[in-house]
Amino acid sequence: MTASGTAGHGDELGAYIDLGSLGAVVVKSLSADPWPGNPAPRVHETPAGMINSVGLQGPGVGFWLENELPAVLATGARVVASIWGTTVEDYERAAAMLAGAPDGVIA
């Protein structure tokens, strides 16, 4: 399985590896609604490396289900959907939206 978000919200790694050969693709955490993330700058260099703070930017569960998920499933990959929210209700909404996800999605 990939770590959460290393494949973005879908098949970004598909050009480099057969996603269907992985145990699963864990997508970048999704919220119920689209979220712009943090304003720039999002990356800061330090003497020992770098710090990033993208801020969980994402398209929202509904857009992801309709527009990004089909391409990942077409690779034969199983998908683990990671969700986030700022309240318990946000998590409930995101989970409810994923309840009807197609086979191959674990939420």
Q: What is the pLDDT of residue 14?
A: 87
pTM of the model: 0.87
Q: List, for residues 89-105, the tens digit of each pLDDT value.
A: 999 999 999 999 999 99
Q: Which residues of 63-78 are buried (b: 16+ CB within 10 A; e: fewer)?
A: ebbeebbeebbebebb
Q: List, for residues 49-89, the tens digit of each pLDDT value.
A: 999 998 899 999 999 999 999 999 999 999 999 999 999 99
